[in-house]
Chain A
């Protein structure tokens, strides 16, 4: 498992966490070779999680745009409504293997919190989820779901009350309770081994996609897009395709396009620093203080990004761009009306860029967007923001 992606990554955490991180890494190294662990994981991913997910041809949207064929990798159909379960399931089983009886997690949009609450219930583990109070307000359905699944939701009232602060509090809890608690980190961020662990569990997205596209049209897709907050669905999508010919685009959130951080686009707008245990691109001021972020989507509203994305940006293998709140909302409404699918606001950012680019691509090309989650959690927020132009 790589700890470093070029100059990015590392484990910049208080000494108290170092042994737990090392223990987690060795547990995963042995579990991944353990046939029993693998078969249990695969069985649950299939029968409980709903994998594999379909690769769906968005026929009307393709026809409307008149360019490349548009396909959706339907992670919104995973149990719980987002790709987050892929990782929560794997780490939940690892926690059992480590003998940890308590799970903690951070959540932004609430999808990772729901996934953690689901696996916690399934495995009989105590589950506590840290969530920014502002995010609890805008993602209320997920707060209710977590509670119904038996998890305790702990509101975080520091700072901006969003994902970054939720991670801070989860890390502090872990420092205090590391002996009996597993921190089930939900994105491809944080100290080693989390970024590579999460990438491993999420790479099922890209592996299925590659198999499905080869079966369908005989080769890899030409263009693949995924949204990037911390970057877990994107890294899972891209990983198996990195050595192939596909063009890969990660889409961050530009927010309203104003504000000091310029939304939440740390790769597009940020600079290198250390936050949450990793060296990566951050939205920070010249004093090294982390800037406030802003995005319509709670899941992308984060000032950092996974260290592997930082390296993929520098190496040029992946193109990173950003979509605004308004563009994401328009994509949301467009998909709803053309394909009968309500996407989450997070992948709506990737859809927005797909909608921009598809018309310029030849009709024999294949474009894939990872639809990382469904939009039910966003209904109130979308209603509040009003109809598309």
Chain B
């Protein structure tokens, strides 16, 4: 198991909530990116999710799409990711999030080995279904790089348990129907709401009691983070909220303040009462 999975597991055992923060590599210069990573660490996040751009990211909402376009326009290459990873992993455990074609084009199993050698603990590929794991060769969960699978509100119980058994590091539970982001999609039809996943999370934990479950997609504030924990999740993943501010030119210290407020959602004492407040969930 990779370091990220290990840390998440320990925190689950200690009943501590976890927060992963996502930013797109190459959407800003490496110094700015690393400045954000250091700021997030200072704010108390558990791990970093590093996005690598793909030209056609089908699971992404407008914010991450824009970040990917910007990154590609800046000429970001696989080698840039490999150069960045050791510096990120010096600060925090790291998961890389990209699309299957990018990994296959860099040799599939060979690409995963490169990621691991450069400090990545896990890889998340939203267009890799359970059935596609074999495409990545025999590597899989071995040797310290976890392949994290995603489950969705649409996933039925039987399949959810299969995903729980096969995922590496943690299970990424998508909290809503829709793409990443705050729901302000390009069209009204892509705006959706987070759902109550208490039952799904309970089923996963019953199947694999030590497996951390992290919920993501559309996290807006500490209350959303808190709400996931109240549903039984071990943590939350936040991406578009931060990337949107980065796209708009926010600097690392501004983002740090946002992340600090999200980390507060991990502490039940402070926000325990708020979790029951009606938020249209």
Residues in A lying within 8 Å of B, measured CB to CB: 10-20, 104, 128, 154, 156, 158-159, 164-165, 168-169, 171-173, 175-179, 273-277, 279, 282, 284, 286-290
Contacts and interface: CB of A to CB of B under 8 A. Distances in A.
Given A15-B174, A16-B153, A274 B59 contact: no
Contacts of A104: 189
Contacts of A128: 189
A270 to B, nearest CB: 12
Contacts of A286: 105
Contact of B129 (A12, A20, A177): A12
Contacts of B58: 13-14, 168, 171-172, 175, 276-277
Contacts of A158: 65, 69
Given A12-B100, A274-B127, A288-B105, A172 B132 contact: no
B165 to A, nearest CB: 15
Interface string B25-52: 0000000000000000000000000000
B191 A176 contact: yes
A274 B104 CA distance: 8
A175 B179 contact: yes
- Give the most central of B59, B101, B102, B151: most A CB within 10 Å: B101
Contacts of A13: 58, 127, 129
Contacts, number: 133
Nearest to A176: B178
User: Size range of the interface on B?
Assistant: 35 or more
Contacts of B153: 16
B56 interface: yes
Interface string B99-111: 1111111100000
B26 to A, nearest CB: 12
A16 B154 contact: yes
Contacts of A173: 187, 189-190
Given A275-B56, A275-B101, A19 B127 contact: no
Nearest to B66: A158
A12 B128 contact: yes
A15 B152 contact: yes
Nearest to B79: A287
B58 to A, nearest CB: 5
Given A158-B69, A177-B189, 10 more contacts: A10-B131, A13-B127, A14-B59, A15-B129, A16-B177, A19-B154, A177-B177, A179-B177, A284-B105, A289-B102
List the 10 closest pairs (A to B, CB-CB), nearest first. A288-B105, A176-B178, A16-B152, A288-B102, A15-B152, A289-B55, A290-B55, A176-B190, A274-B101, A273-B101
B102 A287 contact: yes
B9 to A, nearest CB: 22
Contacts of A165: 56
B155 interface: yes
Nearest to B153: A16
A18 B190 contact: no
Interface in B213-233: none
A14 B100 contact: no
A286 B106 CA distance: 8
Contacts of A19: 154-156, 159
Contacts of A274: 99-101, 104, 127
A15 B154 contact: yes
A176 B102 contact: no
A20 B101 contact: no
A154, A284, A288 — which one has the most chain B CB atoms within 10 A of its CB? A288
B77 interface: yes
Contacts of B57: 168
Nearest to A171: B58
Contacts of A289: 53-55, 72, 102
